[in-house]
């Protein structure tokens, strides 16, 4: 029997028991749909959470000055600590594991344009602020190193601050007065859905060079003169993260006379650590979802194996007759193996098509900020196909071998007795 005849016979046999075949195929298809959708949903949730975190900042640590909780160098505990304007220079010099170390100074400023006015949070920092705080430029540019070095009166507006001051008008090149001091608008921020904040949302702020900020809008008493609100720090990579934290604490402890182990003196909002913890949760969730899908798929495989064993029993006489007429053990093995592979392949293919189609439909709908949609990829498809192939082989081996092992004389006797 050539392959075409074998395939034709396989299809005819399955069609003769179409209800049983369809129910078996449904089990496999459902397993493929389950594993694909669960993994795609896990990928979408993980990607959405990561992107939502990055609306605040990417791998950034905010270092706040606090009060000492440990005695160090003869100083008492409970002493108030303040970061100073020039601290970041020494900290950056002594922290090679940190990519960026920069000061941030923010104060409420009375800002007005020719069209409107208001009290707006104004922030001064260094140019890399846009990178580590995930600020995207919609128009114009952010201030650069030269603007900061010369303390130029230039301003970058958050999207909401721009609407407040200029409504729908073009703001680029316009003048705004900040506590009576003229500043030129050089850029506007792209709107973003920020998920957290320590001093207000970025869209509602005005950003100016750090040197201009400390000249025109420094901290006022009772704050310490020449102090800044916090330091923003970013490590070179996840591998240098812990070294970066250690080096920052060591240098700040030396500069301000507190024990580097004193976490109350230098509190750190560590988004790197938070992101790592979230990644572990997401990976665990994806493993759990994938395991549920795999279990469903294996149950479908057991269903296929059970149906094929029933088929072997029902067709015992047929097998006996074919073997008595000269059919080899190998040909019997091939037929039952092909039947199983056919059922699993067709149902698995239908399951993949349906699951990818469902994911595509879901992705047409608006997504919440923490969910990027049903993210399918070649990896998900490859994993599904691999598992499908494994299930096919495992489901086919035993029934096919059982069929090929039937003794023709016993088969004929079994049927005659039945």
pLDDT digits (tens, 9 = 90+) for 209-258: 999 999 999 998 777 888 999 999 999 988 899 999 999 999 999 999 99
Pairing between β-strand 206-209 and β-strand 117-125 as defined by DSSP bridges: parallel
Q: Where are the domains of the chain?
A: 3-53+277-417, 67-264
pLDDT at 295: 76
Distance separating alpha carbons of residues 338 and 366, to the nearest angstrom: 44
Q: Which residues of the chain have pLDDT under 50?
A: 415-418
- Give tens-digit pLDDT for 355-387: 889 988 988 888 887 788 888 877 777 777 777
CB burial string 177-191: b at 16+ within 10 A, e below: ebeeeebebbbbbee
Query: What DSSP assignment string belongs to 3-26?
Result: HHHHHHHHHHHHHHTHHHHHHHHH
> 305 CB contacts (<8 Å, ≥6 apart)?
340, 394, 395, 398, 399
Residue for token digits 């939502």? 52
pLDDT at 70: 84
Tell how far CA 391 is from the center of its chain: 30
Task: Decide if 43 contacts 366 (C-beta within 8 A).
Answer: no
Tell which residue, 79, 189, 177, has the closest CA to residue 139. 189
Task: Decide if 25 contacts 301 (C-beta within 8 A).
Answer: no
Helical (H) or strand (E) element with 271: helix 271-314
Tokens matching residue 194? 């920020």
Helical (H) or strand (E) element with 400: helix 378-404
Q: 3-class SS at 217?
A: coil
């Amino acid at each position: 029997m050539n392959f075409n005849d074998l395939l034709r016979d396989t299809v005819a046999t399955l069609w003769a028991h179409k209800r049983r075949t369809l129910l078996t195929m449904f089990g496999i298809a459902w397993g493929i749909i389950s594993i694909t959708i669960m993994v795609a949903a896990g990928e979408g949730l993980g990607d959405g959470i990561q992107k939502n975190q990055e609306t605040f900042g990417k791998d950034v640590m905010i270092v706040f000055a606090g009060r000492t909780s440990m005695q160090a160098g003869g100083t008492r505990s409970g002493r108030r600590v303040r970061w100073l304007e020039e601290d970041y220079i020494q900290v950056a010099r002594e922290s090679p594991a940190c990519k960026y170390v920069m000061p941030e100074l923010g104060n409420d400023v009375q800002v007005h344009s020719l069209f409107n006015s208001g009290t707006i949070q104004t922030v001064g920092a260094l140019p890399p602020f846009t990178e580590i705080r995930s600020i995207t430029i919609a128009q114009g540019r952010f201030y650069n190193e030269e603007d900061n070095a010369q303390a130029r009166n230039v301003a970058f507006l958050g999207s909401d601050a721009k609407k407040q001051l200029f409504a729908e008008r073009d703001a680029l090149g316009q003048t705004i007065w900040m506590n009576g001091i003229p500043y030129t608008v050089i850029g506007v921020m792209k709107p973003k859905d920020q998920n957290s904040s320590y001093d207000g949302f970025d869209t509602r702020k005005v950003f100016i060079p750090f040197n201009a900020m400390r000249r025109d809008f420094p901290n006022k008493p009772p704050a310490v003169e020449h102090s800044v609100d916090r330091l923003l720090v970013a490590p070179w990579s996840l591998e240098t993260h812990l070294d970066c934290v250690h080096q920052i604490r060591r240098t700040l402890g030396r500069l301000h006379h507190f024990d580097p182990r004193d976490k109350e003196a230098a509190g750190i909002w560590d988004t790197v650590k938070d992101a790592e913890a979230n990644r572990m949760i997401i990976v665990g969730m994806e493993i759990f979802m994938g395991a549920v899908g795999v279990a469903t798929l294996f149950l479908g495989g057991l269903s296929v194996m059970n149906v094929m064993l029933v088929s072997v029993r029902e067709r015992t006489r047929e097998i006996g007759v074919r073997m008595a007429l000269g059919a080899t053990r190998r040909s019997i093995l091939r037929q039952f193996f092909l039947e199983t592979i056919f059922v699993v392949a067709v149902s698995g293919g239908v399951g993949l098509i349906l699951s990818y189609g469902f994911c595509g439909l879901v992705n047409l709908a608006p997504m919440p900020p923490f969910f990027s949609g049903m993210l399918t990829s070649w990896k998900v498809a490859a994993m599904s196909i691999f598992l499908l192939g494994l299930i096919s082989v495992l489901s086919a081996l035993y029934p096919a071998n059982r069929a090929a092992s039937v003794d023709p004389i016993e088969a004929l006797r079994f049927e005659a007795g039945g």
